[in-house]
Structure 1
């Protein structure tokens, strides 16, 4: 399965990656690559837990660009 993720750097320089279509699915890493590798494990774990609990695996999300 393919998932879109967001990747941001926090105030401590750690890369935080989140999968918006799976609520609560967040990971991090010292580098972008490490964070992206870590989110793969987080996604697998989140999907497994959601399936075990009978929850929808994903929620509908939209990506929209806004100019402010």
Structure 2
């Protein structure tokens, strides 16, 4: 069994000691880009054949869920406001580490988490910014928010 396959099997067992370095090694083993944060707080995980862009908080030892963000303007590109996107916040089970997960349903793969609903909300806004940045870097379209800003 190749090293990447062994690591994938270990991570499927949901170990509590997995690290971002494990995710980066796993991605590398399967030819998936895992870019460390440049200015933000999240790694970006993307595959050219998949629409999802996953962002993973770099400072979380427990990676039971994750996404991330960077809020930055790119020359000539209209700035999207992460606060305009719909966000769903749900409690995580004790088996998943507890706390809350936040998902941006309009952006495939965009999720984050936190110990409290407010922390999950703060983290998902960071994740949305990172998702938008990664999509632009890959030349992919960024969906407009479905709802109008309040």
Give the superposed CA RMSD.
Answer: 1.7
Q: 1:16-31 counterparts in 2 under 5 A?
A: 16-31=101-116
Cα distance in 2 for residues equivalent to 1:56 and 1:18: 19
In structure 1, stretches of 5+ residues that fail to align are 62-68
Quick one: higher RCO (CA 8 Å, sep 6+), 1 or 2? 1
Question: Structure 1's 60 and 33: CA in aligned 2 closer, same or farther, altered over 3 A?
Answer: closer
Question: Structure 1's 3 and 60: CA in aligned 2 closer, same or farther, altered over 3 A?
Answer: closer
In structure 2, stretches of 5+ residues that fail to align are 1-80
- The one-character-per-residue Cα deviations of 1:11-63 (angstroms, maximum 9, x if unpaired) are 123200000111110000000010000011100000000011011112786xx
Candidates 21, 39, 55, aligned match of 2:124 = 39
Larger radius of gyration: 2
Cα distance in 1 for residues equivalent to 2:91 and 2:120: 10
TM-score by length of 2: 0.38
Structure 1 segments of 4+ aligned residues over 4 angstroms from their partners: none
